[in-house]
């Protein structure tokens, strides 16, 4: 059976910026995949190309074995993009009926409302909805055509915790029916919680691809920082240390084993002060993943 999504050698350039810089990626039918990366990593550009909204400068993109444009025309793809607005005075049900009318084989209205948890507010005007409900209308709009693939660009941005949970509960009901989902996110925790597979992007490239726990392990390094009397020579060679950075009068050691690094620092007899050890955080994790893959 053909893959849901296949990208081979895909690149897209905007002026001097290589927004997507040579991506190979296949997504099987029924997978829920997170595209995780910091701002400007190329996630939106990738999603836009999969929707046929942007043309790749290089490489091949297939969606269910066809061009993105053909797949969208055939009603196989639904999307929730970062910016899409609805007429403020329209009612929820009208928006859903409009979306359904665009497709040959839409889902029944009641099913769209129930899946997106909008049944209670079906007759409410769009401008009277909460932020979370507004996001769920965008979700309802995306699934009304009964697509086999859903592409979601940061679907939970600006949602509070409760709305986020109810959004993902709605998504689970949809994926339980064997559909394929690709969603972009900045949040490692969200990727880990809701995706079967996490594809990490940075600087237009895929720098890691694995299960949430594999990615968390790769991103789970720590940073040790301290002030030092004397030079930092030789610190890079300490066990457990992956990189050394000097920031003002502090030295930062990126560690994949901070216990070993602390022991080694103590035994080295260096005169350090103000030692701090922190979790890597996502930005540092991206740096670690990026340099670990030799792409920087």
Residues that bind ligand ATP (CB under 6 A): 14, 17, 19, 37, 39-45
Shortest spacing between CB 138 and ligand ATP, in angstroms = 16
Shortest spacing between CB 240 and ligand ATP, in angstroms = 31
Shortest spacing between CB 136 and ligand ATP, in angstroms = 21
Nearer to ligand ATP, 15 or 85 (CB): 15
SS (HEC) of 37-66? CCCCCCHHHHHHHHCCCCCCCEEEEEECCE
- The closest of 2, 1, 20, 5 to 197, measured between CA atoms, is 5
The number of angstroms, rounded, from the C-alpha of 254 to the middle of its chain's C-alpha atoms is 24
Nearer to ligand ATP, 93 or 219 (CB): 219
Angle at 112 between CA 106 and CA 114, to 5 degrees: 155
Other CB atoms within a 10 A radius of the CB of residue 289 amount to: 21
Nearer to ligand ATP, 20 or 118 (CB): 20
Shortest spacing between CB 34 and ligand ATP, in angstroms = 12
- The closest of 106, 78, 96 to 175, measured between CA atoms, is 78
Helix (H) or strand (E) holding 207: strand 205-210
Nearer to ligand ATP, 120 or 296 (CB): 296
**Packed helices 131-143 and 161-175: angle between N→C axes, nearest 10 degrees:** 10
Shortest spacing between CB 116 and ligand ATP, in angstroms = 23
SS (HEC) of 81-142? CCCCCCCCCCEHHHHHHHHHHCCCCCCCHHHHHHHCCCHHHCCCEHHHCCHHHHHHHHHHHH
Shortest spacing between CB 144 and ligand ATP, in angstroms = 25
Nearer to ligand ATP, 191 or 252 (CB): 191
Nearer to ligand ATP, 40 or 232 (CB): 40
Cα-based torsion angle of the residue sequence 236, 241, 242, 246 in order, rounded to the nearest 10 degrees: -60
Nearer to ligand ATP, 41 or 92 (CB): 41
Shortest spacing between CB 44 and ligand ATP, in angstroms = 3
């Amino acid at each position: 059976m053909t893959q849901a999504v296949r990208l081979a050698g895909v690149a897209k350039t905007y002026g001097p910026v290589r927004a997507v810089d040579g991506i190979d990626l296949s997504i099987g039918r029924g997978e829920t995949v997170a595209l995780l990366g910091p701002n400007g990593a190329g996630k939106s550009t990738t999603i836009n190309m999969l929707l046929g909204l942007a043309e790749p400068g290089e490489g091949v993109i297939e969606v269910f074995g066809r061009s993105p444009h053909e797949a969208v025309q055939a009603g196989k793809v639904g999307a929730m993009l970062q910016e899409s607005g609805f007429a403020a005075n329209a009612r929820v049900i009208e928006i859903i009926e409009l979306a359904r009318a665009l497709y040959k084989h839409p889902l029944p209205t009641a099913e769209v409302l129930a899946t997106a948890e909008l049944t209670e507010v079906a007759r409410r005007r769009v401008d009277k909805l909460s932020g979370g409900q507004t996001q769920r209308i965008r979700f309802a709009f995306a699934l009304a055509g009964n697509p086999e693939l859903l592409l979601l660009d940061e679907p939970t941005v600006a949602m509070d915790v409760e709305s986020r949970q109810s959004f993902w509960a709605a998504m689970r009901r949809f994926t339980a029916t064997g559909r394929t989902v690709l969603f972009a996110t900045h949040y490692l925790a969200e990727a880990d919680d809701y995706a079967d597979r996490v594809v990490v992007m940075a600087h237009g490239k895929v720098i890691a691809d694995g299960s949430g726990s594999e990615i968390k392990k790769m991103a789970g390094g720590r940073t040790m920082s301290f002030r030092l009397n004397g030079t930092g020579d030789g610190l890079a060679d300490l066990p457990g240390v992956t990189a050394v950075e000097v920031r003002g009068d502090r030295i930062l050691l990126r560690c994949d084993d901070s216990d070993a690094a602390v022991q080694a620092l103590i035994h080295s007899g260096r005169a350090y002060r103000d030692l701090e050890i922190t979790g890597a955080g996502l930005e540092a994790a991206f740096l670690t993943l990026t340099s670990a893959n030799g792409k920087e």
